[in-house]
């Protein structure tokens, strides 16, 4: 019989290897000015991604009021990754963002793919970019919103971030 004095907790190992950050508690809404405003933000801890790590993002939101366009941006470490502009419409327009970032064999080289879907024209806005952000340092992942008219509203309802440090 083998006795293990320090048993391995598989849940702890899984949590350390694969992280999911989900923020569905309270939508973040912006109205009242035309400044670019951070709606959701999450700091990816330093070194989490390693040299081949992956981050996946899914977010949903809504644009309200028909006075002007609303612009949403996905940023990583302050670098613009993807943009969605939702045109003025008299009805609430829902949108969804899917994005993935892969460290490309080093802590300072990423490949991104992202696409937004909004129901204004059942349009897909897709992006493929590279970035050179040092993920050995903590980096902010954020979604911002900006209004063309201050009395409009832009909102991020929820987002889920998956981190797989491979």
Q: Is 133 in a helix, a strand, or coil?
A: coil
Higher-pLDDT residue of 8, 29: 29
Mean pLDDT across 5-32:
62
What does pTM read for this prediction? 0.83
Contact 132, 109 (CB under 8 A): yes
3 Cβ neighbours under 8 A, 6+ residues apart: none
Element (H, E) at 4: none
C-alpha triplet 61, 72, 70: angle, nearest 5°: 85
Cα–Cα distance for residue pair 166/164, rounded to 1 Å: 6
Which domains are present in the chain?
21-164 (2.60.120)
Higher-pLDDT residue of 3, 25: 25
Q: Is the dihedral of CA 17, 98, 78, 80 positive or negative?
A: positive
| Torsion on CA atoms 65, 67, 69, 71, rounded to nearest 10 | -60
Q: Name the percent of the chain lying above pLDDT 70.
A: 82
Cα–Cα distance for residue pair 57/159, rounded to 1 Å: 7
pLDDT greater than 90 at residue 21: no
Q: Give 133's pLDDT tier (boundaries 50, 70, 90).
A: very high
Higher-pLDDT residue of 59, 17: 59
pLDDT at 122: 52
Highest mean pLDDT among 2-11, 12-21, 148-157: 148-157
pLDDT at 79: 93
Mean pLDDT across 80-90:
87
Cα–Cα distance for residue pair 161/48, rounded to 1 Å: 13
Q: Give 10's pLDDT tier (boundaries 50, 70, 90).
A: very low
Cα–Cα distance for residue pair 68/87, rounded to 1 Å: 7
């Amino acid at each position: 019989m083998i006795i293990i004095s320090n048993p391995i907790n598989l849940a702890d190992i899984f949590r350390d290897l694969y992280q999911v950050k989900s923020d569905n508690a309270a939508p973040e809404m912006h109205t009242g000015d035309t400044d670019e405003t951070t709606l959701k933000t999450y700091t990816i801890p330093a070194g989490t991604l390693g040299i081949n790590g992956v981050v996946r993002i899914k977010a949903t939101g809504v644009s309200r009021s028909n006075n002007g366009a609303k612009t949403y941006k996905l940023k990583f470490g302050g670098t613009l990754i993807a943009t969605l502009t939702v045109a003025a419409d008299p009805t609430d327009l829902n949108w969804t963002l899917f994005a993935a970032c892969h460290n490309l064999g080093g802590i300072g080289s990423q490949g991104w793919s992202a696409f937004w879907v909004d129901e204004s024209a059942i349009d897909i806005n897709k992006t493929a970019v590279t970035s050179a952000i040092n993920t050995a340092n903590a980096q902010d992942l954020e979604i911002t919103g900006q209004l063309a008219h201050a009395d409009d509203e832009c909102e991020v309802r929820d987002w889920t971030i998956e981190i797989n440090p491979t």
